[in-house]
Amino acid sequence: MQNLTLCSALAGLLFGIWPLMMNKSGLPGNVSTSIFALTAFLCVMPFSIRAWGSVHGANWGYAIAAGVLGGIGLLLLNGMLSKATTANIGTFFVVMIIVQTATPVLYQAYLNGMTVKQGVSFALAIVSVALLVF
């Protein structure tokens, strides 16, 4: 799939659906994380086997750190999903998505500086989280 916008939209759709389905599974947080990670691994592995020959020169420290951070994030997300009700899961999910999207914006601002538009957008994201939570 070459269209990056379409890939982004489809990924967003799928990343929006799977937590809702996991919430309905009734599994405890750590078990659901294990099921998700194993199933994702089995789905992804056939597509990555050919690329294993081209990993020379990769920064394995960053790759392992990303895996650890992602694993902790999955444990936290699935812990939340296992305890959230259908009445409040949307709020928690939106808070997670806003914080998730604000993180690379802050990183980009750190590297390149922040435009007024980005600053206003970031401030509005903070207001959105505050209005949802408090």
- Tell whether 7 and 64 lie within a shared domain: yes
- Tell whether 27 and 38 lie within a shared domain: yes
Distance CA 116, CA 129 (A): 20
- Tell whether 7 and 72 lie within a shared domain: yes
Question: In terms of residue numbers, what domain contains 93?
Answer: 86-134
- Tell whether 91 and 31 lie within a shared domain: no
Q: What is the pLDDT of residue 128?
A: 87
Which pLDDT tens digit goes with each residue over 73-85? 999 999 999 999 9
Q: What is the pLDDT of residue 41?
A: 95
- Tell whether 66 and 90 lie within a shared domain: no
- Tell whether 73 and 128 lie within a shared domain: no
Average pLDDT, the chain: 90
- Tell whether 7 and 61 lie within a shared domain: yes
Per the document, the length of the chain is 134
- Tell whether 95 and 61 lie within a shared domain: no
Quick check: 35 pLDDT over 80?
Answer: yes
User: Taking the CB of residue 96, how many other CB atoms lie within 10 A of it?
Assistant: 16
- Tell whether 78 and 123 lie within a shared domain: no
Domains identified in the chain, total number: 2
pTM of the predicted model, to two decimals? 0.81
- Tell whether 23 and 70 lie within a shared domain: yes
Residues 6+ apart with CB under 8 A from 126: 102
Q: Which residue has the tokens 């078990």?
A: 31
